[in-house]
């Protein structure tokens, strides 16, 4: 079992809390002594180390565990490459809706092919009927871990990361795929030889096609809201149809947190911050970072407009607005990477 602790006041919170309810600080994860990964248990899904899946994937060790899956490090003996394998937890593997979501995730993510997106390579099934996804293993640091380690980010470095995330999202949106759960835990920063680092958007597990079909509708039916509360757009909170502008809104919240270490909406709980997004206006970036360029504050403010029509229409448009902020020497080199 893991917990998260406030670096300012030392108060501990159970998962999935991300911010201190006392002072709003970003929580730092603390693993219990002897823990073998994130979370615990996992049943059959947590006991695959040492097994050979489909006569091809040598499972080496568990990397982490979430509410829906366990992730392992493995070796693809056919390709000679290191991969990550995400296995659905047993209690959810028995649920038809969860299996449908996993198959949908694989079907969508296999279409993604962009340096700023982590694709799904294969959908398989382990002994006992446990479905699993094979993905490239990315050696890097999660954006959430970077934030916890370094605090509020330098503007030029943060804008460079955000523009790369925009590039990855734009690619997905062009294929009519919406991420739906964009957050710092779903962005990996991968070191690049002689070229800084590459931001990679991961886990399209809550992705859906913009043009919904009956199969999709069943997965998001009545009262089931998928996503992470702190980063949901107002229309996602209300259960309305989503498009690219919902991901732009979520990225606006991610950006605000990157530069300030806190959220643009205040509340003592995730539920209160959700209500604030429906009824109030976000804090301005320069309230917390007076040194922020006014153009960057304007870009984030537009991304966080409550009405989708008032936001940037595309992730690419958001990237262009971010590129107009000071620091153009660094950002200009990224321009040719954007579609």
Whether 136 contacts 118, CB under 8 Å = yes
Q: Are strands 69-76 and 81-88 parallel, antiparallel or unpaired?
A: antiparallel
Whether 37 contacts 65, CB under 8 Å = yes
What is the torsional sign of CA 40, 41, 42, 47? positive
Residue 92, classified by CB atoms within 10 Å of its CB into exposed (0-12), middle (13-18) or buried (19+), is middle
- What's the length of the chain? 339
**Does the annotation mark 291 as catalytic?**
no
What is the torsional sign of CA 225, 226, 228, 233? negative
Instruction: Please tell me the distance from the alpha carbon of residue 157 to that of residue 45, in angstroms, as a whole number.
Output: 38
Instruction: Please tell me the distance from the alpha carbon of residue 263 to that of residue 256, in angstroms, as a whole number.
Output: 7
Token pair listed for 208: 């859906």
> Quick one: residue 213, left, alpha or beta (phi over 0 = left, psi -120 to 50 = alpha)?
beta
| Residue of 76, 181, 203, 247 marked catalytic | 181
Catalytic residues: 181
């Amino acid at each position: 079992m893991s917990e998260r602790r406030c670096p300012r006041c030392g108060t501990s919170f159970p998962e999935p809390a991300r911010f201190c309810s006392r002072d709003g600080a970003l929580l730092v994860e603390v693993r219990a002594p002897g823990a073998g990964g994130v979370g615990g248990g996992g049943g059959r899904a947590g006991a695959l180390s040492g097994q050979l899946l489909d006569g091809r994937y040598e499972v080496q060790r568990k990397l982490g565990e979430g509410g829906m899956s366990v992730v392992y490090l493995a070796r693809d003996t056919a390709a000679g490459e290191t991969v990550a394998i995400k296995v659905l937890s047993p209690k959810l593997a028995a649920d038809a809706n969860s299996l449908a979501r996993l198959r949908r995730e694989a079907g969508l993510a296999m279409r993604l092919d962009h340096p700023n997106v982590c694709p799904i390579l294969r959908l398989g099934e382990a002994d006992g009927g446990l479905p699993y996804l094979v993905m490239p293993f990315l050696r890097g640091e999660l954006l959430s871990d970077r934030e916890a380690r370094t605090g509020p980010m330098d503007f030029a470095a943060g804008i460079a990361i955000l523009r790369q995330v925009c590039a990855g999202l734009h690619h997905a949106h062009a294929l009519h795929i919406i991420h739906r759960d964009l957050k710092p835990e779903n962005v990996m920063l991968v070191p690049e030889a002689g070229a800084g680092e590459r931001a990679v958007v991961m886990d399209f597990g809550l992705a859906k096609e913009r043009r919904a079909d009956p199969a999709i509708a069943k997965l998001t039916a009545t009262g089931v809201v998928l996503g992470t509360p702190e980063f949901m757009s107002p229309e996602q909170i209300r259960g309305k149809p989503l498009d690219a502008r919902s991901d732009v809104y979520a990225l606006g919240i991610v950006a605000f947190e990157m530069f300030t270490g806190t959220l643009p909406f205040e509340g003592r709980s995730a539920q209160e911050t959700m209500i604030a997004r429906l009824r109030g206006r976000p804090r301005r970036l320069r309230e917390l970072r007076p040194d922020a360029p006014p153009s960057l504050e304007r870009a984030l403010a537009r991304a966080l407009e409550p009405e989708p029509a008032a936001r940037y229409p595309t992730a690419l448009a958001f990237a262009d607005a971010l590129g107009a902020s000071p620091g153009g020497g660094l950002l200009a080199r990224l321009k040719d990477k954007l579609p």
